[in-house]
Amino acid sequence: MKAIVDCNSFYAACERVFKPSLHGKPVVVLSNNDGCIVSRTDEAKALGIQMAGPYYQNKKEIEENNVAVFSSNYHLYGDLSRRVMETLRLLSPQVEVYSVDESFLDLSGIDAGELFEYALFIKHTTELWTGIPVSVGVAPTKVLSKVANRLAKKDKSGTKGVVVLQTLEQQIEALRKTAVEDIWGVGHAGSKMLRMFNVNTAWDLRNRSEQWARKNLGGVVGVRLIKELNGMPCIEMKNPLTTKKMIATTRMFGKPVYELKELKEAVATYITRASEKLRRQSSAASALSIFLVHSDNRNQQEYAPSSRSSYITLPSATYLTNVLIAHAMPLVEALYNSGSKYIKAGVVLGNIVPCDMIQFNLFEAPESANAKQLMHMVDNINFSMRNDILKFASAGTKKNWKMRQEMRSKRFTTRWEELCIVK
C-alpha cells in the first residue's frame, strides 16, 4: 500500500506556525510579485476567495473580512518542508518527496488491519513535531491514494483527516464521489473531453477499457490512469537520488523594464540562481535558453503578453556562473528590441549531466581547478552568510526590476537576525 501525505494549505499553515493568533482566522499567501493567491486556509476558501485568482481582484473581499495577507517567503516554507519530510522519513522506509508540500510513502510493511491507525499516527506525529497540519490518503496505487487524500481533506472532521481505500467497496464508493476533473492526471483538456463522452466520475472512467483510453486519453498515459484506478500499480515510487533534467529560473519584473542594461542584469542574476541549483545537485549543463516576455500594445481588457526566446548549445557542459553569463549576454542583445516593454525574463538550463562526467571539447580549454574552487567558495559564503554577498558585477547592484514582496514575514528559521522573539 502507498500513502500520500499532503500538508493542508501549506504556505498559509507555515505563516500560522510563527503567528499562532492566526489559527481559526482566514489567511492567504501571494505568489511572487504579490500577483496571485497561491495558498488559502479553509476560512479564506469559505469567503469565496479563489485559488490562483489575481490578488487585486480579491482585494475588496480580503480587506472587508480582515484576511491576513502574506507575500511568499520561500526560505521559511522550504525549511518547514524539510522538517516535515525528515519526520516522514522516520515513519516509512521509502519516501518520495513529490512536491514542497506532499510525499508518497511506502506502507507495504504495515499489516492490513493496522493501516488506518498507522496513517493516523503519521498525521499526529507530523503535526506535533512540525506544527503543520496534514491529510493522509492510503490505497494500493498512487492515483487511488490521491483520491483518498482528497476525500480526507474535504471532510476533515468526519474522516479525522485520514482515508484508507482498502476493500473494493471502499474504492468504489470513493470513486463515485470523485468528479473526473478531480482525478490526479486529468487536467482541463482531458476533463472536457471525458465529459463529452459522458464520463463524469472517477468510477465512470475506471469502467472504460484500456483500448478506449489508449485511443482517447493520450495513449499510454490514459492506459496507466485506468489501471491505477483499477488498483493495479503502474506509477512506481521514484528513486530519491534522481537529479533534475532541466533547471529554470524565471521571474516577472516588479515593474516594466525598457533598458537593455537592466534586462542583462536580470538575466545575469537568474543565471546566478540557476547555476547554484545546478551545482547543488553536482551537475553541469550544456544547453542554455533565454526568453524575454514583452507586453506591447497591451489591450486594456486582455492580458496577452508574447515572448521571444533563443538558445545555444555550449561547446562543453559547465556549471560556472561566469561562463554561463558570458554565453547568455549576446543572446539577450540579439533578442532585445529597443522600445519594447518587458515584463518578465527567464533562463533555462538543459542537457544536464553529472559534473564528473563532463565531455571536454577538443578545441576548448577545460575548466581550471581554480575556477571550480572559486565557485565553491562563492556558494559557501553566500549560503552561510547573506544571499548574494558575493556576486558577479554583471548581475548589477540596484535591481530596479526586482519583484515586489511587500508583505513577507520574517525568515524565522534560516536567519539569525530574524529569529522569533518570545517575551
Residues near DNA (CB under 7 A): 31-33, 35-36, 38, 52, 54, 56, 98-102, 146, 183-191, 218-221, 244-252, 273, 277, 303, 311, 313, 343-344, 346, 403
Give CA torsion, residues 140, 142, 147, 150, to 10 deg: 120
Residue 109 DSSP symbol: T
CA distances to 87, 133, 329, 362, 390 from 321, in Å:
35, 39, 12, 22, 12
Closest to DNA by CB, 110 vs 265, is 265
**Cβ closest to DNA, residue 2 vs residue 273:** 273
Count of beta carbons in the 10 Å neighbourhood of residue 138? 27
CA angle 207, 208, 209 (to 5 degrees): 115
Q: How far is the CB of 169 from DNA (least distance, A)?
A: 25
What is the smallest separation between the CB atom of 370 and DNA, expressed in angstroms?
28
Cell of 306: 508574447
Residue listed under C-alpha cell 489501471: 227
CB of 19 to DNA, least distance (A): 22
**Least CB distance to DNA at residue 307 (A):** 10
Strands (E), 355-405: none
Identity at 110, one-letter amino acid code: I
CB of residue 97 vs DNA: minimum separation in angstroms? 11
Nine cell digits for residue 252: 516577472
36 vs 47 by CB, closer to DNA: 36
**Cβ 29 to DNA shortest distance, Å:** 10
Nearer to DNA, 129 or 311 (CB): 311
User: Which residue number, 176 or 255, has a Cβ lying nearer to DNA?
Assistant: 255
- The C-alpha cell 551537475 sits at 283
Q: Which is nearer to DNA, 93 or 219 (CB)?
A: 219
> Cell 479563489 appears where?
50
Q: What type of residue is 358? A: I
Spatial contact of 303 and 344, defined as CB atoms under 8 Å apart: no
